[in-house]
Amino acid sequence: MVITHTIALKGANVEIPDLTVSRITWTPSNFTDGQVVTLNATIGNIGSGNTTGGFSIRFLIDGSLLGEQNVSGLASGASINPTQEWTATPGQHTISTIVDVNNEVPESNESNNTLELNMAGFGLPDYIISNIQVNPASPVEGSTATINATVKNSGNSTIRTSIYNLLIDGNIIGSTVIPGLSSGENKTITYAWPVQPGTHNVTAVADSNNAISETDEANNSLKIDLVVNMMPRSNVIVTVHNKTGNIDGANVTITRLAPILNTTNSDGIALFNDLWPGTYSLKAEAKGHQNNLTIIETVSGENLNVDILLTSNGGITGVVANLTDHELEGITAILMKDGAALRSTRTAQNGEYFLPDIAPGRYSIIFSSGEYDQRTYPAQVNSSESTRVNAVLNALPVIAGTISDNFGNPVSGAKIEISSGSAITLTSDPDGKYRAVLPGAGGHDIKIQAVGYNSILGRFTVALDEIRTFNYVLTKNAIINGTFLDNKTRTPVPDATIIVNGIIKPFETNPDGKFSLDIPAGNYEIIGKAEGYLQNSSQAQATSGSVTNIELLLEPAGSIQGKVRDDITKQNISGAVVTLGSGNVIKALARTDNNGIFRFTDIEPGEYNVKSTYFGFTSNTTQVQVEGHIISNLEIFLAPTMIKVQLTPEYQHYSRGETINLTVRITNPDGIPLVCQWN
What does the pLDDT look like over 351-406, one tens digit per residue? 999 999 899 999 999 999 888 989 999 999 998 889 999 999 998 999 999 999 99
Confidence of residue 660 (pLDDT cuts 50, 70, 90): low
Average pLDDT, the chain: 90
Confidence of residue 13 (pLDDT cuts 50, 70, 90): low
* Range list for CATH 2.60.40.1120 in the chain: 234-309, 398-474, 478-554
Confidence check: pLDDT of 656 > 60: no
* Range list for CATH 2.60.40.10 in the chain: 19-122, 130-228, 314-392
d(CA 165, CA 174): 6
State pLDDT tens for residues 608-641.
999 999 998 999 999 999 999 899 999 999 999 8
State pLDDT tens for residues 530-550.
999 999 999 999 999 899 999
Q: Do 197 and 142 touch, CB atoms closer than 8 A?
A: no
Confidence check: pLDDT of 4 > 60: no
CA 554 to chain centre: 60
Q: Which long-range contacts (CB under 8 A, 24 or more apart) does 382-385 make?
A: 382/314, 383/311, 383/312, 383/313, 383/314, 384/243, 384/312, 384/313, 384/314, 385/314, 385/315
Q: Do 383 and 311 touch, CB atoms closer than 8 A?
A: yes
Confidence check: pLDDT of 490 > 70: yes
Instruction: Kindly give, in sequence order, each residue whose CB lies less than 8 Å from that of residue 175, ignoring residues fewer than 6 positions away.
Output: 163, 164, 165, 166, 208
pLDDT of residue 345: 95
Name the phi and psi angles at 67, rounded to 5.
Answer: -175, 160
Q: Which residue has the higher pLDDT, 123 or 572?
A: 572
pLDDT of residue 300: 86
Confidence of residue 11 (pLDDT cuts 50, 70, 90): very low
Read off the amino acid at residue 645: V
d(CA 61, CA 117): 10
d(CA 68, CA 133): 52
Task: Point out which residues pair with 528 in neighbouring strands.
Answer: 498, 536
d(CA 284, CA 434): 57
Confidence of residue 123 (pLDDT cuts 50, 70, 90): confident
Name the phi and psi angles at 463, rounded to 5.
Answer: -120, 165
pLDDT of residue 511: 95
Read off the amino acid at residue 526: I
State pLDDT tens for residues 243-271.
889 999 999 999 998 999 999 999 999 99
d(CA 171, CA 166): 8
Where do the DSSP E strands lie in 195-310?
Answer: 198-205, 221-228, 234-241, 251-255, 259-263, 269-275, 278-285, 292-298, 303-309
Name the phi and psi angles at 611, rounded to 5.
Answer: -115, 130
pLDDT of residue 465: 85
Q: Do 645 and 661 touch, CB atoms closer than 8 A?
A: no
pLDDT of residue 417: 95
pTM of the model: 0.43
Alpha-carbon distances, residue 652 vs 648, 649, 679 (angstroms): 11, 8, 18
d(CA 393, CA 327): 10
Instruction: Kindly give, in sequence order, each residue whose CB lies less than 8 Å from that of residue 450, ignoring residues fewer than 6 positions away.
Output: 403, 411, 413, 414, 415, 474
Nearest to 99 by CA among 117, 82, 80, 113: 113
CA 482 to chain centre: 57
Task: Point out which residues pair with 31 in neighbouring strands.
Answer: none
Q: Do 357 and 287 touch, CB atoms closer than 8 A?
A: yes
- Under CATH, which number does the domain 234-309 receive? 2.60.40.1120
Alpha-carbon distances, residue 80 vs 19, 448, 612 (angstroms): 11, 116, 108
pLDDT of residue 122: 85
Residue 416 burial class via C-beta count within 10 angstroms: exposed 0-12, middle 13-18, buried 19 and up: buried
Q: Do 127 and 220 touch, CB atoms closer than 8 A?
A: yes
What is the average per-residue pLDDT within 495-513? 93
d(CA 328, CA 348): 8
Top CATH class of 478-554 equals mainly beta
Q: Which CATH architecture is the domain 398-474 placed in?
A: Sandwich (2.60)
Confidence of residue 276 (pLDDT cuts 50, 70, 90): confident
d(CA 398, CA 452): 28
Confidence check: pLDDT of 674 > 60: no
User: Which SS3 state, helix, strand or coil, does residue 206 take?
Assistant: coil
d(CA 624, CA 650): 48
Nearest to 554 by CA among 499, 632, 633, 607: 499
**What is 5-42 written as a DSSP string?**
------SPPPP---EEEEEEEEESSS--BT-EEEEEEE
Q: Do 564 and 636 touch, CB atoms closer than 8 A?
A: yes
Instruction: Kindly give, in sequence order, each residue whose CB lies less than 8 Å from that of residue 357, ignoring residues fewer than 6 positions away.
Output: 287, 288, 313, 315
Confidence check: pLDDT of 679 > 60: no
Name the phi and psi angles at 465, rounded to 5.
Answer: 60, 25
Confidence check: pLDDT of 677 > 50: no
d(CA 304, CA 179): 54
Confidence of residue 229 (pLDDT cuts 50, 70, 90): confident
Among the ranges given (306-315, 554-563, 640-649), the one the predictor scored with the smallest mean pLDDT: 640-649
Instruction: Kindly give, in sequence order, each residue whose CB lies less than 8 Å from that of residue 184, ignoring residues fewer than 6 positions away.
Output: 152, 153, 154
Q: Indicate the CATH number of 19-122 among 3.40.50.970, 2.60.40.10, 2.60.120.330, 3.40.50.300.
A: 2.60.40.10
Fold of the domain built from segment(s) 314-392: Immunoglobulin-like (2.60.40)
Among the ranges given (24-33, 432-441, 636-645), the one the predictor scored with the smallest mean pLDDT: 636-645
Q: Does domain 130-228 have CATH number 2.60.40.10?
A: yes
What is the average per-residue pLDDT within 591-612? 94
pLDDT of residue 635: 94
